[in-house]
Structure 1
Amino acid sequence: MSTKFKILCFLLLIAIILTAIINLNTGFLSLNFQDFFAESSNSQIAEIRINRVLVMLLAGISIPTSGFLMQEYFQNPLAGPDILGITSVASLSVAFYIFFSYNVDLPEFLQNSFLSLSSIIGSLVLMLVLLSMSNKFQDKSYLIIFGFLVSAFAGAIVSLLQFYAENQSLKNYILWSFGANNMVTRNQVYVLSILVLIGLFICFKSIKPLIGNSLGTSYAQSLGVNLNQLKIFIIVASSLLSASVTAFLGPILFIGIIVPHFCRLIYNPAKLWQQWILNMFLGMLIMLLFSIIAEKTQIPLNVISSVFGIPVILMMLLKHNKV
């Protein structure tokens, strides 16, 4: 590893620790050190803030990794779980679960499991469709248009479900769609951690084949890269990472696109192992910053990510058009 990469990682790690500490101390009440490590009147609030920091760290790891995998596989800097419609379909699957399981009494752990499972199944199905469509489109930019169409269709169905939903079901879905990171419980953090670890393991197995794939299909095959296996790994890892976060935090838009873009700007884009690590570090930092802004302003998390992400993507498009 180069000295520049080590310095970047060290600076990002320091920034992550500082923003995590600030996050723990951001809220309506000021907490003491003992509130986090001993029983007190504010222990429950301290636990909520710890859960908030943990879920932001997991989201910061998952969403950029998902976007990184998809951009490297499709060789398109605009590929991402939200642009290609994966987040929308995962949201649709969660909407079906919330609206149709309202009267079903299940233990909390099973509710969390089914919530994440519905989101993951929806995103996996769409990824399979995207990969089959990618073989039919000579220009892979058409996948972006296809993703927008899928997002619009999923949004229309969600609107229809909202129109006919009962009041409490509608309220639950709206609260979920705002990205309410303060509502995440410790059990949900455990479930999300397991799903993220599985996704990261599959990503780890995908990086080396991705390096060969980036050099061209024929060259990758000559190196012994199993392209079908790589395709499956990308489907599963990207869907698992993006859908698991969507299940518990709602649709966090554009982070999967802009974080890999920033990482390619600050370090050599050809070094995929280092790029993956930078994506996770920078993703955690950005999500923690968004969490602080959300607590200070009371603006929903997904609104903040959209306000931040849209101008960046617009600049990317303008820059690509000039080239």
Structure 2
Amino acid sequence: LQHSLISIFAICGSVILLIFLLIFSKNFKDSSYIIIFGFLVSALAGAVISILQFYAENESLKSYILWSFGGNNQVSFSQNLVLAVLVSLGLIITFKAIKPLIGMSLGEDYAKTFGVNLTQLKYTIIIASSLLSASVTAFLGPVLFIGVIVPHFCRMIWNPAQLWHQWILNILIGALIMELFSIISEIWQMPLNIISSLFGIPVIFLMMMKKR
């Protein structure tokens, strides 16, 4: 129940923040302002977390540290079931949004001629992405680099315009890489975030060098 409430609050907070960012981006067209806004939100979240850590009891602080390492070692079977339901719901929403997104990828004017409601589509994507990212983070912790590496890797091996295939590839390869990192984490007896960082940073660096 506690993890379920945490995931609900995380999803609600993520949706509110993304909607606020969408409104903010309409008033400030320069992308640098959006980056600054992201830093401000990150700093505010860091300050709140520091306050909670300062006043937390030892057991709560230990739970937070274990959560921040990432992974599902501390997640029970019932919590995994709740997570599976939330992730499945998010995937269903994104699956239904693929067809409108294909139209939108060809241009907003083109999408409008085929009856795509762009405002509704944007908010649908916000809700789906918040549901997926917030629920996974609430249960498994902030696993680093998976969300950056997998989409870029899938775009490299398959046509980015074919969103149906990209959707399936991201799910399969994302799960495969996550499981691989988990196995390495168990073998090396190290937190999952350390493993993902050790592999993720060089991969992202190579991707950046390739695009130069």
Q: TM-score, normalised by structure 1?
A: 0.62
Q: How does 1:299-318 map to 2 (within 5 A)?
A: 299-318=190-209
Q: 2:21 aligns with which of 109, 130, 134?
A: 130
- Counterpart in 2 of 1:115? 6
Task: Give the direction of change, closer, same or farther, for the CA distance of 1:141–1:285 in structure 2 (3 Å limit).
Answer: farther
> How much has 1:142 moved relative to structure 2?
5.0
- Counterpart in 2 of 1:150? 41
Q: Distance in 2 between matches of 1:135 and 1:313?
A: 30
The SS at the match of 1:150 is helix
The SS at the match of 2:27 is coil
User: 162-171 vs 232-241, which deviates more?
Assistant: 162-171
- Counterpart in 2 of 1:260? 151
The SS at the match of 1:181 is coil
The SS at the match of 2:144 is coil
Task: Give the direction of change, closer, same or farther, for the CA distance of 1:133–1:314 in structure 2 (3 Å limit).
Answer: farther
Greater than 6 Å deviation, 4+ residue runs: none
Q: 1:238 aligns with which of 88, 110, 129?
A: 129
Q: Which has the higher helix share?
A: 2
> How much has 1:297 moved relative to structure 2?
1.1
Task: Give the direction of change, closer, same or farther, for the CA distance of 1:309–1:151 in structure 2 (3 Å limit).
Answer: farther
Task: Give the direction of change, closer, same or farther, for the CA distance of 1:251–1:232 in structure 2 (3 Å limit).
Answer: same
What amino acid sits opposite 2:107 in the alignment?
A: G
In structure 2, the gaps of 5 or more residues are none
Q: Distance in 2 between matches of 1:186 and 1:163?
A: 31
Q: Distance in 2 between matches of 1:163 and 1:230?
A: 41
- Counterpart in 2 of 1:226? 117
Task: Give the direction of change, closer, same or farther, for the CA distance of 1:180–1:261 in structure 2 (3 Å limit).
Answer: closer
Determine which structure has greater relative contact order: mean sequence separation of CA pairs < 8 Å that are 6+ residues apart, divided by chain length.
1
2:71–2:182 Cα contact (<8 Å) kept = no
- Counterpart in 2 of 1:15? none
- Counterpart in 1 of 2:188? 297
1:277 aligns with 2:164: no
In structure 1, the gaps of 5 or more residues are 1-109
Q: How many residues align?
A: 212
Q: Distance in 2 between matches of 1:308 and 1:152?
A: 26
Q: TM-score, normalised by structure 2?
A: 0.92
Q: Distance in 1 between matches of 2:160 and 2:98?
A: 13
Q: Distance in 1 between matches of 2:205 and 2:47?
A: 25
The SS at the match of 1:224 is coil
CA RMSD of aligned residues (A): 1.8
